[in-house]
Amino acid sequence: MVDEAVILAGGFGTRLKDTVKNVPKPMAPIKGKPFLVWLLSYLEKYGIKKVILATGYMHETISSYFGTEFKNLSLIYSIENKPLGTGGAAFLASEKVKGKDFLLLNGDTYFEINLYDFEKFFKATGSVMSVVLRTVKNTGRYGTVILDNDRILSFSEKFQEDRGLINGGIYLINKEWYRSVAPQGNFSLEKNILEKKIADSLITGFVSDSYFIDIGIPEDYLRAIEELPSVE
């Protein structure tokens, strides 16, 4: 099993600012604990050993709460001094990855997939990057992913309010490939890597109907408070 993961934990939480104040989005409280506790507990359950927290906005809030370990996880911090976007933050954090491949997770989504199955899929397809996808009734907030025999063909724009596949915010990535194709500085993982590289790189989609929630808007953040089980 891949035993290193990067969590993108530098989000400003702009759409949550009236509901969750003065903390980075992954630190939004759920049942008295930061949302990150659920993500870290989930990774630890699958034998992940090291998590690199890609932080930026109010990074001290995260490091002072979690320190250098959580349960059986070793925690390392990758701190961006200026906004680098999702792609740039992942690129900076990947410098601290020792292995060939790494998991990447959005710090504001919880998608309870079987990581063992995901890794088997990633290796079996021989892809340089795999994305976990989920079918939702309304893709308008996310944009739609078009899939053909496991290969991602395209991404359509947001605001098309139809049923379809969306990017669920969990990835397996070949580190060497990612660092070779990534632009410099501030860039978007979605726009500059996924959308630009699908034509000439094998990027695959792993479809799952497991429990999924994105706390990026107040309505779903409040739903997470109700739905997520208590964790130790």
Instruction: Determine phi and psi for 25, rounding to 5 degrees.
Output: -55, -40
What is the value of pTM for the model shown? 0.95
| Whole-number pLDDT of residue 176 | 98
What distance in Å separates the CA atoms of residue 202 and residue 125, rounded to the nearest whole number?
Answer: 9
DSSP letter string, 86-110: HHHHHHHHHTT--SSEEEEEETTEE
CATH number of 4-227: 3.30.470.20, 3.90.550.10, 3.90.180.10, 3.60.20.10? 3.90.550.10
Considering just the CA atoms, what is the radius of gyration of the chain in Å? Answer: 16
Strand order across the 145-148 sheet: 69-70, 73-79, 50-55, 4-8, 101-106, 164-174, 129-136, 203-207, 151-155, 145-148
Cβ atoms of 164 and 139 closer than 8 Å: yes
Q: What are phi and psi of 3, to 5 degrees?
A: -115, 15
> What does pLDDT average to in each consecutive run of 10 residues of the chain (232 residues)?
94 62 85 96 97 93 96 97 94 98 97 98 98 91 90 80 89 98 94 94 97 91 95 84
What 3-state DSSP class applies to 157? coil
Among 42, 40, 37, 31, residue whose Cα is nearest residue 224: 31
Residue 20: its pLDDT value, please?
Answer: 67
The pLDDT score that the predictor gives to residue 18 is 61
